[in-house]
Amino acid sequence: MKQTPAHDIVNAELLSLVPLAARRIVEVGCMQGALARVVRQRSPSTDYVGIDIDPDYAQVAAAHCTEAFSCDIEKIEPARWDGLFPSDCWIFGDCLEHLRDPWLLLRRIRTAIDADGTLLVCVPNAQHWSVQWRLASGNFRYEDSGLLDRTHIRWFTRITLLEMFQNAGWRIEQGLTRNLAPVPQQEGILQAIRGFAVAGGFDPEQAAADALPFQYVFKLRPA
């Protein structure tokens, strides 16, 4: 089963955080190299390594990367892992949620990345209002893509993302959100979420704010 359907869309928020002077980038979950293509057009001297668990995707991505190969990053051979360093920028665009132990992987990268290194991540928000609505209605069904992608095995909220980064030895330098266009039923559901927060004894406005982002995008540095 493909991790997610292939597409040629560049995550603009993630791209905006890629350091222009990056020396060597490692992108895990590079798919067909859409981000690599744009980054290397902008910074031709950047060494770009693309990794994807799907060999067909990695083969296409090779045209846009200095090097591209297919592997399960959590089962990568020690010699190949060591070959990913030195590197000063690691990118996980919609990838961490597909991993068995992203906490361990982020700690491993933290111990090996260059001292001035950057970690860029984009992660779906499990607290999005549409997910809460599906849970409340009982219609929590996996789909081929999106927040309920059937290949997601980890789920994160803003709070649990921050905890993971801190515990893995990273500090946030910049954070962005990606929001979907409002739909008619959204405000009513957000109001219900506020009510649920009041009943649960936590901040209703924070609960509503945390239910809006579709994805979180972070730029992190070694702590």
Question: How does pLDDT run across 166-207, given as a tens digit for each residue?
Answer: 999 999 999 999 999 999 999 999 999 999 999 999 999 999
Please give the tally of structural domains in the chain.
1
Question: How does pLDDT run across 48-97, given as a tens digit for each residue?
Answer: 999 999 999 999 999 999 999 999 999 999 999 999 999 999 999 999 99
Residue 52, in any domain of the structure: yes
Task: Give the tokens for residue 77.
Answer: 């051979």
Looking up residue 115, the CATH number of its domain turns out to be 3.40.50.150
Task: Give the tokens for residue 22.
Answer: 């990056």
Residues recorded for the chain = 223
Model pTM score: 0.94
Beta strands in the chain (DSSP E): 24-28, 47-52, 67-70, 89-93, 118-124, 170-179, 213-222
Residue 1, in any domain of the structure: no
What is residue 146's three-state secondary structure?
A: coil
Residue 91, in any domain of the structure: yes
Rounded-to-integer distance, Cα 14 and Cα 48, Å: 15
Residue 87, in any domain of the structure: yes
Q: Is the pLDDT of residue 7 over 90?
A: no
Question: How does pLDDT run across 110-152, given as a tens digit for each residue?
Answer: 999 999 999 999 999 999 999 999 999 999 999 988 998 999 9
Domain residues for 19?
12-125+143-181+213-222
Residue found by looking up tokens 């702590």 in the block: 223
Residue 113, in any domain of the structure: yes
Residue 107, in any domain of the structure: yes
Residue 208, in any domain of the structure: no
Residue 195, in any domain of the structure: no
